Chains A and B, each alone.
Chain A
Amino acid sequence: MKRENRSNRLLRWYPPTWRSHYGAGLLALLDDTYGAKSVPWRERWSIATKGVAERAREAGITGTTVNANGRLLAGSQLVLCGWSLFIVAGAIFAKFTEHWNDSVSSVHRTFPGVSDAVVRTAGIVGVLLVLAAAAFVLPSLVRLARRESWQSVRRPLKKNALALSISIALTTSVALRAHFLNYHQRNGGSPGYVVIVLLAGFAVLATLATMTTTALSLTRQIDFSRRLLRNLSFAALTLSVLMLSIAVGSGIWWISEARFAPKFLENSIGSGILFTSNTLPPALLLMAVLMFIGLAMALVGATRIASGFSDHGPHRVATSSPH
């Protein structure tokens, strides 16, 4: 029984449709090959990577099994995932760069000032773009919900509403409590405040993850018109450019501060841990990693969108719209 559970866990790397078709055969092969012995780690790794690759292929992120519209949708979804990482990275940047003006003499403010403005503007435009895209998708989502008597959307919407409520409650309590604390207490001097801040941060991350996965799962069920899909794809491409601007802007800000006001980068949270230094604060390193992964996802997504357009051509997709 234990062995069966272990093998079944391995199968979970694969998408459900693949499992229903090939799962029993693969399990039988694992039993025949390894018997009572446990599956070697090398083979577990191989199965995990193949399973993830199969999921990516089924989602249309790789391979040629999905049509041009499927590639447009998959590419747009991937850019959205990358954007979620940029929201976290942007929050780190926003927190870290508070009061940076005081640290740099007016002579050296041009580069960090412009780059900071680019990051903030691109961030705001990106959020508005995502909200606009969500608004455009809403009628299709309502049609889907009506068609299925709200069965498919009720549960994910409830989950999102709950996560959002908890996040709002915790961040509000952080803001209210911060109002009565001094600078020292707000920056690690009050253990109770630190706990609430961590809980709020975790709740916001969980909400972001829940919203992104819900958006992915619901958009997979929606029967998009070609015109809407084309518009969403253009929005995703624009979002990719904004992400690139944010990454470049924050990089320039970081370099400028390291050069003109290194003191500002010192004494940040986690200073002194391995591979960090005064000009490589851990918070900014984490931001850079998140932006790098997000940009990589956006790049793959944009390539997928381009491949979807190259099959149909953006104009052909639009003119062949049934709506």
Chain B
Amino acid sequence: MTRKAAISNDFARPNEPTVLILTSLASGAKHGYVLTKDIEDFAGVVLGPGTLYGALTRLEERGLIAPVPSDDRRQPYEITASGRAALADAVHAMQSLANEGAARLRLRDMANPLLLTPNTPRLAQ
């Protein structure tokens, strides 16, 4: 399976826990509790401990994140180079989808459709 195909399978949805975790870790290493709070802040999604650790397991197995050595019980994780590449691919895939949706809806702000929010509908006509 190509990397692109793998990404289209696993990272197709923006609310996918793996995408949310990679997005959160892109701004720096975090442990479980900080991760869940950060994700809740930027995506409004509450990941339960079971779901979070299930996704962390998958991501670490695939080498997309790595544990940061720590003396604390709280285990921080950081995104790896492969993780950044996978996240970038996922972002591009989602951006393409957003661009397509914006074009079909004839939204005005075509230059940067990702900046469109549900509260600011800007119809072309």
Binding site for B on A (CB under 8 A): 18, 22, 24-30, 32-33, 42-43, 46-47, 49-51, 53-54, 65
Contacts and interface: CB of A to CB of B under 8 A. Distances in A.
Contact of A29 (B33, B54, B57, B61): B33
Contact of B49 (A18, A47, A53, A54): A47
B113 to A, nearest CB: 35
25 contacts: A18-B57, A22-B75, A24-B75, A25-B31, A25-B74, A26-B32, A26-B49, A28-B31, A28-B32, A28-B33, A28-B72, A28-B74, A29-B32, A29-B49, A29-B52, A29-B53, A29-B74, A32-B32, A33-B33, A46-B51, A47-B50, A50-B54, A53-B54, A54-B54, A54-B57
B57 A25 contact: no
A28 B54 contact: no
Interface of B: 31-33, 36, 48-54, 56-57, 61, 72-75
Contacts of A47: 48-50
Residue from the set B53, B56, B57, B61 with the largest chain A CB neighbour count within 10 Å: B53
Contacts of A43: 48-50
Contacts of A33: 33, 36, 49
A313 to B, nearest CB: 19
State the majority secondary structure of interface residues on B: helix
Given A25-B31, A29-B32, A65 B61 contact: yes
For the complex of A and B, 4 pairs with smallest distance between CB atoms: A29-B32, A25-B75, A32-B33, A46-B50
Contacts of B52: 29
Contacts of A28: 31-33, 72-75
A29 B73 CA distance: 9
Given A22-B56, A32-B32, A27 B73 contact: yes
A132 B52 CA distance: 45
Contact of A22 (B33, B51, B57, B72): B57
- Interface residue SS majority, chain A: helix
A223 B81 CA distance: 37
A243 B51 CA distance: 36
Contacts of A24: 73, 75
B51 A50 contact: yes
Nearest to B1: A64
A233 B57 CA distance: 30
B112 to A, nearest CB: 36
A127 B74 CA distance: 51
Given A25-B31, A25-B32, A32 B74 contact: yes
Interface centre among B50, B51, B75 (most CB of A within 10 A): B50
A182 B77 CA distance: 72
Contacts of A42: 48
A25 B53 contact: yes
Nearest to A32: B33
Nearest to B70: A25
Contact of A26 (B53, B61, B72): B53
A307 to B, nearest CB: 15
Nearest to B32: A29
Nearest to B54: A50
Contacts of A32: 32-33, 74
Given A22-B56, A25-B75, 5 more contacts: A25-B32, A26-B53, A43-B49, A46-B49, A51-B50
Nearest to B61: A65
A26 to B, nearest CB: 5
Nearest to B34: A32
A59 B49 CA distance: 23
Contact of A50 (B50, B61, B72, B75): B50
